Amino acid sequence: MEFVKEEIEDMSDPEPSRIKHEDTEEQTEWIEVKQEKHEVNEVEVNKVKEEPCEIKTSGKTAKQLHTCTQCGNRFRQKGRLNKHMSIHNGEKPYTCPQCGKSFSDSSGLCYHLHTHSGEKPFSCDECGKKFISSSHLKLHLTVHTDEKPYVCKNCGKSFSRLDSCKRHQKTHNEVREHMCLECGKSFTTTNQLKRHQKIHTGEKPYKCSYCEKSFICAQHLQRHERVHTGEKPHHCTQCGMSFIDGITLRYHLYSHTGEKPFNCDQCGKKFISSSHLNSHLRVHSNDKPHVCYCGKSFSRLYHCKLHQKTHNGAREHTCFKCGKSFTTATELKRHQRIHTGEKPYKCSYCEKSFIYAQHLKRHERIHTGEKPYHCTQCEMSFIDGITLRYHLHNHSGEKPFSCDQCGKKFISSSHLKFTPESSFR
């Protein structure tokens, strides 16, 4: 049995960091796919070496191998070596006639030309999504299989792609060789640096095929377009729910395991994601940087945008049961539970269940005694922000809710609707 180790590149060698990285993301991903194949070949060769069998390599084949003097990579054909050397010397003889971009090989140019023509000849049999190359299709197929063969040796995290695994391993080593000259932030790869620099330049080259939005990263565009197409390729194996990206699926899985890995330093509360923790931290700081043109301020941009829709009267989502309309599809779904009687949020301490997650959180604070909302003027604490807001009216003397009948003013709409006099009638 004859084994020949060829075209195997040592990705751990620091020398490739000196290679010029001016290729497009399409070509870079194509090269990364080739590198993954080389890694697999190397693993297979190493496995064979460990087996107690004799490996024979003919002298004739050994003489045919051509070695790269810069990185040690070996090739059977001299033409392939010459093609490989263009990576080191920066030579890019293949130029796009439409935009002038250059590539080191003809296949890179061929894939790039598809971006101009819009042609995507490779289709996924599972979901029908199309791709400009077979390598892109193969990478996409791992989404459907959930296959993650590449495991981080430091923490055990698994990845569907070898390059993603290696990038992750650099986070353990804190290797961030590529620095932004604008702000000093550093990154593990040149591609990450290039994407980051678009923040400074304002460049958003990835345009949505369905609306006018454009994005800095191709991944952000892919995620956004799934909102239009309804594609949800990431499936929960425990309950069957589907999601548009892997991150949302990962956070959803925490709801099954109960894991909340992100802790608040101030009150000890735990969260399933860093973004949820960051939103919570504003509770302690009372920071509300997002201001509506009516003067109302919000801690989260999302809430500010929802509020602005109330000014525009944009309520595009209508309930077919009662005709009530809402600004978002999420609000409509929550409302429809009133009609169905569904209460999916169950208390961990008693038998009560709730339509909304916010109502469950507020209720469970009665059991735990947690009062994360603090008054800065008298140090009283409250279980929710609304109660704190009404309490602050006591200090300011503000009573924004007026009775149309008698002109009496109240600190809250609930006090206006249910006065002590009306409760005894």
* 242 sits in which H/E element: strand 242-243
Q: Is residue 51 part of a domain?
A: yes
Q: What's the number of domains the chain is made of?
A: 2
C-alpha distances (whole Å) from 116 to each of 97, 109, 128, 129, 377 are 11, 11, 21, 18, 61
**Which pLDDT belongs to residue 328?**
79
The 10 Å Cβ neighbour count of residue 22 is 15
Burial 390-400 (b: 16+ CB within 10 A, else e): bbebeeeeeee
Boundary of a domain, candidates 119, 145, 173: 119
Q: Is residue 226 part of a domain?
A: no
Strand pairing report for 262-263 and 290-291: unpaired
Q: Is residue 302 part of a domain?
A: yes
Residue 112 has φ and ψ, to the nearest 5°, of -65, -40
The pLDDT averaged over each successive group of 10 residues in the chain (425 residues) is 38 38 42 45 42 41 70 82 78 82 80 78 79 80 75 82 78 76 83 84 87 86 88 85 86 82 81 80 76 83 80 80 84 87 88 87 90 86 85 84 85 71 41
Q: Is residue 2 part of a domain?
A: yes
**Which pLDDT belongs to residue 11?**
38
The 10 Å Cβ neighbour count of residue 70 is 15
237 burial (CB, 10 Å; 0-12 / 13-18 / 19+) is: exposed
**What are the tens digits of pLDDT across the range 337-393?**
889 988 888 898 999 998 888 888 889 989 999 888 888 888 898 888 888 888 888
The 10 Å Cβ neighbour count of residue 251 is 15
* Rounded Cα–Cα distance for residues 332 and 328 (Å): 7
Please tell me whether the overall predicted TM-score, pTM, comes out greater than 0.75 for this model.
no
Three-state DSSP at 318 gives strand
Q: Is residue 64 part of a domain?
A: yes
Q: Is residue 147 part of a domain?
A: no
Angle at 67 between CA 63 and CA 72, to 5 degrees: 140
**Which pLDDT belongs to residue 25?**
42
* Structural contact between residues 263 and 278, judged by C-beta atoms closer than 8 angstroms: no
**Which pLDDT belongs to residue 418?**
63
* Rounded Cα–Cα distance for residues 151 and 55 (Å): 28
* Rounded Cα–Cα distance for residues 240 and 315 (Å): 30
Boundary of a domain, candidates 87, 102, 119: 119
Report the greatest alpha carbon distance in the chain.
105
* Structural contact between residues 66 and 74, judged by C-beta atoms closer than 8 angstroms: yes
**Structural domain for 343, as ranges:** 287-423
The span from the first CA to the last CA of the chain, in angstroms, equals 97
DSSP 107: H
**Which pLDDT belongs to residue 345?**
86
DSSP 407: -
* Rounded Cα–Cα distance for residues 357 and 345 (Å): 6
Q: Is residue 170 part of a domain?
A: no
> Within 13 Å, how many C-alpha atoms sit on residue 137's CB side?
16
Residue 367 has φ and ψ, to the nearest 5°, of -75, -45
CA dihedral over 225, 229, 235, 236, signed as positive or negative: positive
- Write the CB contacts of 399 (distance below 8 Å, at least 6 apart in sequence): 393, 409, 410, 411
Three-state DSSP at 102 gives strand
Boundary of a domain, candidates 119, 153, 182: 119
| Residue reference for tokens 């169950």 | 346
**Which pLDDT belongs to residue 64?**
60
Task: Extract the tokens encoding 70.
Answer: 């810069």
Three-state DSSP at 294 gives coil
* Rounded Cα–Cα distance for residues 388 and 376 (Å): 10
Q: Is residue 16 part of a domain?
A: yes
CATH number of the domain to which 383 belongs: 3.30.160.60
- Rg value, the chain, Cα: 29
**Which pLDDT belongs to residue 401?**
81
* 24 sits in which H/E element: none
Task: Extract the tokens encoding 304.
Answer: 């500010």
